[in-house]
Amino acid sequence: MQTIITDSPEEAAEILNAGNVVAFPTETVYGLGACICHPEAVKHIFIAKGRPSDNPLIVHVADTGQIGDVAVGLNEYAVKLIERFFPGPLTVVLQKNPHVPDSVTAGLDTVGVRCPSDPVAHEFLRRACCPVAAPSANISGIPSSTNWETVYKDLAGKISCILRGNPSKIGLESTIVDCTGPVPLLLRTGAVTLEQLQEVVPETIPATHTEKNVVPKSPGLKYPHYAPAASIVLIRHGETVTAAPHSAYIGREEPPKGISIAKSCRSLEEYGKELFSFFRQCDAEGIRVIYCELPENCGLGRAIRDRLQRAAGE
Ligand code: AMP
Ligand code: MG
C-alpha cells in the first residue's frame, strides 16, 4: 500500500472519507484515524497497529456539537467537564449512541470521546464525513508517536495517508475520565491533571488498581505500553546512579556522569513533550539503558510517572 504524505487537511480528509485509514497530528500524540461510518477502515486500524481487538478506540469530534452523534444521556458533571476542557487533552467516557459500531468500542456500551485543540486536527476533523475513531499512531506496545517521522517509521506501507503537522505540543496521551458513574473516575492521567478536574468537579477520584484488576474499566490499561527496547531505570529524588555503558538520561536534574546522550528538561511540560521522542531516539542509537528522573506524584508529574512506570514494567 502506498502511503501518501500531505500537509493538506483537505486532501487527508478526502482520503479518510473514501474509507481509508489516515494518521493525523493532535496536541497529545499523533492519532490513527478512520471514520466510524466505515467499519472496514476501523478494522484496518487494529491490523495496522497490531492492536488487540478488545482495546476500544477513542472517538474524535470536531466540536462539541458532534458529541450527540456518538454519546447519549450526559450527566451534569460530564457537561461541566466538557464545557471546561473541550477542546483539549481530555477524553470523557460516556454512554454510547447505538450508531457507534461495536468494533470501535470493543463491544462496550460506553464510548471515549475527545475534541482535539490542535488547529490542523480541527481542520481535518471538520472535513471528515463523520466522527473519527483513532488510537495513537504507533505499533501497539511501543511509545506513542509525537511527530510524523515516527508515524512513517512505524506505519509506512500499512496505511493510506499521513497528515503531516508539527510535533505534538503535549507529547503524552489524553487524560481519560469515566463519566458514567456517580462521580468522575480518572482512568488515565494526562495533561489535564487530577487537581484541575477536581477544581471543576471536587468529587473526582483516581481509579484504584484493585478496581482495574476486578473490572478493567479502561481495557487498554492492562496491556504493556510505552516501552522502548532499552531498559528503563527510574531515578527517585536524591538518588545517584553509576552510568552503565551505552546509557542515556532524561529529566530535570544533572545527568549522571558517563552517559552517551542526555535530554535536560527545564520543566515538567518539556519533560512530557520530549519523553516518547527521546525513547525512540535512544532505540535508534542503540542505547541499552535509559535513566529517567521520576517526578513527584502531582500535577503533570502524575502523568509522566504513570508512563515511566509502565515503560519500566512496574
Ligand atoms: P490510545 O488511543 O492508544 O491512547 O488508547 C485509548 C485508551 O482509551 C485505551 O487505554 C482504551 O482502553 C481507552 N478507552 C477507549 N474507550 C474507552 C471506553 N469506552 N471506556 C474505557 N476506556 C476506554
Ligand atoms: Mg496507544
pLDDT at 211 over 80: no
Ligand 1: centre distance to CA 190 (Å): 13
- pLDDT tier, 226 (very low <50, low <70, confident <90, very high otherwise): confident
Residue 199: exposure state from Cβ atoms within 10 A (0-12, 13-18, ≥19): exposed
Q: Hey, what amino acid is at 261?
A: I
- 51 CA: nearest ligand 1 atom: 3
Please tell me the pTM assigned to this model: 0.95
Encode pLDDT of 100-111 as tens digits: 999 999 999 999
Question: Of 301, 153, 161, 136, nearest to 226 (Cα)?
Answer: 136
Q: Report the pLDDT averaged over residues 231-258.
A: 94
Express each pLDDT in 59-100 by its tens digit: 999 999 999 999 999 999 999 999 999 999 999 999 999 999
In sequence order, which residues have a C-beta less than 8 Å from that of residue 225 and are 6 or more positions away?
141, 307, 310, 311
- pLDDT score for 4: 98
Say whether pLDDT at 292 is over 80.
yes
Ligand 2 mean position, distance from CA 144 (Å)? 6
CA torsion sign for 290, 294, 300, 302 is positive
> Please, what are the domains in the chain?
4-213 (3.90.870.10), 231-312 (3.40.50)
Coil, strand or helix at 297: coil
Residue 227 banded pLDDT, cuts 50, 70, 90 = confident
CA angle centred on 111, ends 106 and 115, rounded to 5° = 125
Q: Which of 54, 59, 53 is nearest to 37 (CA)?
A: 59
Ligand 1 neighbour 216 (Cβ under 6 A)? no
Pocket test for ligand 1, best of 58, 173, 217 (most atoms within 8 A of CB): 58
Mean pLDDT of 169-174: 98
Beta-ladder partners of 262 = 249
Give the N- to C-terminal CA distance of the chain in Å, as an integer. Answer: 38
Cα–Cα distance for residue pair 78/178, rounded to 1 Å: 9
* Nearest CA residue ID for atom 17, ligand 1: 112
ω into 87 cis (within 30 of 0): yes
Q: 266 C-alpha to center of ligand 1: Å?
A: 31
pLDDT digits (tens, 9 = 90+) for 111-122: 999 999 999 999
Enumerate residues with CB within 5 Å of ligand 2 (an ion).
Answer: 136
